Structure 1
Amino acid sequence: MEKIANCTNSVRVTYSTSETLLPTAVALGKFDGLHRGHQRVIQP
Protein backbone atom coordinates (compact mmCIF):
# COMPACT_ATOMS: atom_id res chain seq x y z
CA MET A 1 0.00 0.00 0.00
CA GLU A 2 1.26 3.48 -0.89
CA LYS A 3 1.88 5.88 1.99
CA ILE A 4 -0.54 8.81 1.67
CA ALA A 5 0.14 11.10 4.63
CA ASN A 6 2.28 11.40 7.72
CA CYS A 7 0.23 12.55 10.70
CA THR A 8 2.81 12.02 13.44
CA ASN A 9 3.28 15.76 13.96
CA SER A 10 -0.44 16.35 14.51
CA VAL A 11 -0.65 14.93 18.02
CA ARG A 12 -0.17 17.18 21.03
CA VAL A 13 -0.72 15.96 24.59
CA THR A 14 -1.61 18.58 27.17
CA TYR A 15 -2.51 18.19 30.82
CA SER A 16 -3.85 21.70 31.37
CA THR A 17 -6.93 23.23 29.78
CA SER A 18 -5.18 26.63 29.84
CA GLU A 19 -2.69 25.26 27.27
CA THR A 20 -5.43 24.14 24.89
CA LEU A 21 -5.55 25.97 21.57
CA LEU A 22 -8.96 26.76 20.09
CA PRO A 23 -10.64 25.41 18.05
CA THR A 24 -9.96 21.92 19.35
CA ALA A 25 -11.13 18.53 18.09
CA VAL A 26 -10.85 15.12 19.70
CA ALA A 27 -11.12 11.82 17.86
CA LEU A 28 -11.17 8.47 19.62
CA GLY A 29 -10.70 5.19 17.85
CA LYS A 30 -8.25 2.79 16.32
CA PHE A 31 -6.48 3.68 13.09
CA ASP A 32 -6.47 0.61 10.87
CA GLY A 33 -5.04 2.18 7.72
CA LEU A 34 -6.31 4.02 4.70
CA HIS A 35 -8.57 1.81 2.65
CA ARG A 36 -8.72 2.16 -1.14
CA GLY A 37 -11.92 4.21 -1.04
CA HIS A 38 -10.41 6.67 1.44
CA GLN A 39 -7.19 6.90 -0.58
CA ARG A 40 -9.18 7.80 -3.68
CA VAL A 41 -11.04 10.58 -1.84
CA ILE A 42 -7.87 12.29 -0.52
CA GLN A 43 -5.70 11.96 -3.64
CA PRO A 44 -4.52 15.35 -4.95
Structure 2
Amino acid sequence: MRKARKNDTPVEKVAILKRHPIDRVPISDLCNEYQLSPTLFSTWQ
Protein backbone atom coordinates (compact mmCIF):
# COMPACT_ATOMS: atom_id res chain seq x y z
CA MET A 1 0.00 0.00 0.00
CA ARG A 2 1.35 3.44 -0.92
CA LYS A 3 1.86 6.25 1.54
CA ALA A 4 -0.39 9.26 1.15
CA ARG A 5 1.34 12.34 -0.18
CA LYS A 6 2.06 15.11 2.25
CA ASN A 7 0.84 18.43 0.87
CA ASP A 8 2.47 21.41 2.52
CA THR A 9 0.70 24.73 2.31
CA PRO A 10 2.61 27.74 0.96
CA VAL A 11 2.77 29.16 4.49
CA GLU A 12 4.36 25.96 5.79
CA LYS A 13 6.86 25.93 2.92
CA VAL A 14 7.94 29.51 3.64
CA ALA A 15 8.33 28.75 7.36
CA ILE A 16 10.54 25.76 6.57
CA LEU A 17 12.61 27.71 4.04
CA LYS A 18 13.13 30.64 6.43
CA ARG A 19 14.68 28.42 9.08
CA HIS A 20 17.78 27.87 6.92
CA PRO A 21 19.11 31.43 6.55
CA ILE A 22 17.57 32.99 9.68
CA ASP A 23 18.06 30.24 12.28
CA ARG A 24 21.16 28.82 10.54
CA VAL A 25 19.67 25.30 10.45
CA PRO A 26 21.48 23.09 7.92
CA ILE A 27 19.43 21.98 4.93
CA SER A 28 20.16 18.34 5.71
CA ASP A 29 18.67 18.73 9.21
CA LEU A 30 15.54 20.41 7.82
CA CYS A 31 15.10 17.67 5.23
CA ASN A 32 15.42 14.97 7.88
CA GLU A 33 13.05 16.74 10.27
CA TYR A 34 10.31 17.32 7.69
CA GLN A 35 11.00 14.18 5.61
CA LEU A 36 11.85 16.15 2.48
CA SER A 37 14.30 15.36 -0.25
CA PRO A 38 17.05 17.93 -0.78
CA THR A 39 15.88 18.24 -4.38
CA LEU A 40 12.39 19.25 -3.25
CA PHE A 41 13.87 21.77 -0.82
CA SER A 42 15.88 23.43 -3.60
CA THR A 43 12.81 23.40 -5.87
CA TRP A 44 10.86 25.28 -3.21
CA GLN A 45 13.64 27.88 -3.01
Q: TM-score, normalised by structure 1?
A: 0.23
Q: TM-score, normalised by structure 2?
A: 0.23
Higher RCO, 1 or 2 (CA under 8 Å, sep at least 6)? 1
Q: More helix per residue: 1 or 2?
A: 2
Greater gyration radius: 1
